[in-house]
Amino acid sequence: MSLEAAQKAIEFLEKNIFDDDIGSPYFGQSGVTSFPLVKEGFQSIPDGKSSRKIAFVDGGNQEIMGAPNFSVQLNRVYSTAWSGKNREEWKLPRVEFFSSTYSRFKREEIHYETSIIASDNESEMYLPDEADLSFSSTDRSLMNGNQRADIDRVGSVARRFGEWRVALAALEKLSEGDIIVMDGTLQSNFTNEAKYVKALSLAAKDRKVILTGMSKTSTIFTTTGLSLVGAVSALAEREKIKGNWYYPVAESHSVDHNVVITIARLNPVSQRAFRFEIQRDEYEHMGKDGREEIFSLLCRNSYDATFPGYPYGLIDADRFARVSYDEMQYYHALLMSHISKTGSNFMTHVRSSDAHNILNLLVR
């Protein structure tokens, strides 16, 4: 019976999701000018050679121990650099730090405060400022709907701010015309994040390095309710657009997100396209030849058999920045041992929210 019900769920979607009318990009925010989705919007990416270097930056984090009133997380940020398919010598360390967040009551509201502890001396200089990780639990940039922000959300913010800091250090190792690719967009989403984005943007402009961002996923829609990435891919298939291509879908003109947003397919055998954005001033200044050179470089880095069409530099950065489940369990056990020896009352708070984890263990 459950299989039949699942099939009916898909049949319902098949009747209500169709791409005959793909609509136009819909961002739902001020300061964004979208472009129509037409065959002529596709820009082919030619093969080419370039001496430009590309640096990639990504981060990861996992909660090690938490309760409604505190969260201890392990955060990592990693950067790597490539020239085409060749890895460059790169002496920036893998940055690792713990974030320890707790709740307190002040100004008639619950607030979250965070302390940052570097795992090693090399990581110390790349850490975000603790002052930027002080938030009200009703901060709209952290809340989920009308719900008070979960305290573990702050760990993700600490990791994201760390990514901007590492990218700023990576700039110092790049030359004029080189490229830096952030994992995700170049938009500031959290309170205090604009400070980091602006610092990186100004430094990139000063060094004449091209600042870009690539998103693994995208939740942007079209005016007919389709996913934007899916709609552009469907249009390419319908119009028989072959090879590698990119499609400029919109310009963002806001102060903290001044970019051209594109959808790009970077490998002809790939069934996936990705959102890729470039600072708007650079996009316009470099002209068509410069844009083709950048996309060509990305294509040359996107031929790994495990994930064709996605830059291997970002795969590599993700792999070294990722905090695994086994590592999380290891540090959790260490903290539990320490707590048991000190006789602290942390576990009374942990037990207020760990019932779901216990149920998961029971049904394994």
For residue 96, pLDDT beyond 80: yes
Question: Residue 348 has what pLDDT?
Answer: 63
Residue 298: what are its φ and ψ, rounded to 5°?
Answer: -65, -40
Question: Residue 332 has what pLDDT?
Answer: 82
Q: Are residues 93 and 233 in the same domain?
A: yes
Q: Are residues 270 and 329 in the same domain?
A: no
For the entire predicted model, the pTM comes to: 0.91
Q: Compare 16 and 43 and report the one with higher pLDDT.
A: 43
Q: Are residues 183 and 254 in the same domain?
A: yes
Tell me: the pLDDT tens digits for 259-301?
Answer: 999 999 999 999 899 999 999 999 999 999 999 999 999 999 9
For residue 1, pLDDT beyond 70: no
Residue 35 lies in a domain: no
For residue 358, pLDDT beyond 60: no
Q: Are residues 69 and 213 in the same domain?
A: yes
Tell me: the pLDDT tens digits for 180-208?
Answer: 999 999 999 999 999 999 999 999 999 99
Q: Are residues 301 and 346 in the same domain?
A: no
Q: For residues 3-14, give the mean pLDDT.
A: 86
Q: For residues 137-144, give the mean pLDDT.
A: 91
When pLDDT is cut at 50, 70 and 90, the band that residue 160 belongs to is: very high
For residue 324, pLDDT beyond 80: yes
Q: Are residues 206 and 344 in the same domain?
A: no
What is the domain-level CATH number for residue 74? Answer: 3.30.2170
Residue 107 neighbours by CB under 8 Å, 6+ apart = none
Q: Are residues 214 and 349 in the same domain?
A: no
When pLDDT is cut at 50, 70 and 90, the band that residue 248 belongs to is: very high
CB of 235 closer than 8 Å to CB of 22? yes
Burial class (CB in 10 A: 0-12, 13-18, 19+), 234: middle
Question: Residue 273 has what pLDDT?
Answer: 96
Q: How high is the mean pLDDT of the chain?
A: 90
Task: Please give the residue range of the domain that contains residue 143.
Answer: 43-321
Q: Are residues 238 and 329 in the same domain?
A: no
Q: Are residues 256 and 288 in the same domain?
A: yes
When pLDDT is cut at 50, 70 and 90, the band that residue 114 belongs to is: very high
Q: For residues 156-180, give the mean pLDDT.
A: 96
Question: Residue 28 has what pLDDT?
Answer: 86
CA gap 44, 309 in Å, rounded: 15
Question: Residue 361 has what pLDDT?
Answer: 57
